[in-house]
A = this chain, B = another copy of it.
Amino acid sequence: MMRHLHDHASLDVLLEVTVLLADDMEGDLARRGLTRARTAVVWLVALHGPMTQRALADLLRVSPRNVTGLVDALVATGFVRRDPHPTDRRATLVVLPEHGTEVADALQRDRAQLAEQLFGELGEREVAELHRSLAHVRDVLRRLVAEP
């Protein structure tokens, strides 16, 4: 019974963390002229290299139509470029021009800085514990989301 009170409080804190984390990152992105959804596109292309919109739709678990809109906006603002696919004339490759690469690097630096701010004051053992518990929570959630 004491246990349940504990669980509720932890879930409340976790939910608050998710909201605050989104707010904080959203602010950083807005300063760079990006939104959350568009950043995900830039991030994936930076990680995997040039990709078709179809591949992006699959990775983002979003409709192809949605990717069209996101890429349109990113092309208009110079974050990505559309290149013809070398062998499949139906497809287009989304690639990062110089500007996009710089932004992806900056995003990575932002992330490193955020990690330092969040975990910097915790001891090595505490970070390890937190990591382990969060990984457990993540695995449970993966199962829950996969089998609804």
Please measure, in the bound complex, the distance between the C-alpha atom of A116 and the C-alpha atom of B6, giving whole angstroms: 10
Please measure, in the bound complex, the distance between the C-alpha atom of A96 and the C-alpha atom of B21, giving whole angstroms: 31
CB of A106 within 8 Å of the partner chain? no
**Per-residue CB proximity of A100-119 to B under 8 Å, as 1/0?**
00000000000110111111
Chain B residues with CB under 8 Å of A133's CB are: 122, 126, 129-130, 133
Q: Which of B6, B120, B140, B141 contacts A131 (CB 8 A)?
A: B6
Please measure, in the bound complex, the distance between the C-alpha atom of A129 and the C-alpha atom of B124, giving whole angstroms: 13
Chain B residues with CB under 8 Å of A87's CB are: none
Nearest opposing residue in chain B for A13, CB measure: B134
Please measure, in the bound complex, the distance between the C-alpha atom of A16 and the C-alpha atom of B22, giving whole angstroms: 12
Chain B residues with CB under 8 Å of A140's CB are: 117-118, 121
Task: List residues of chain A with CB under 8 Å of any chain B CB.
Answer: 3-4, 6-11, 13-18, 20-24, 27, 111-112, 114-122, 124, 126-131, 133-138, 140-142, 144-145, 148
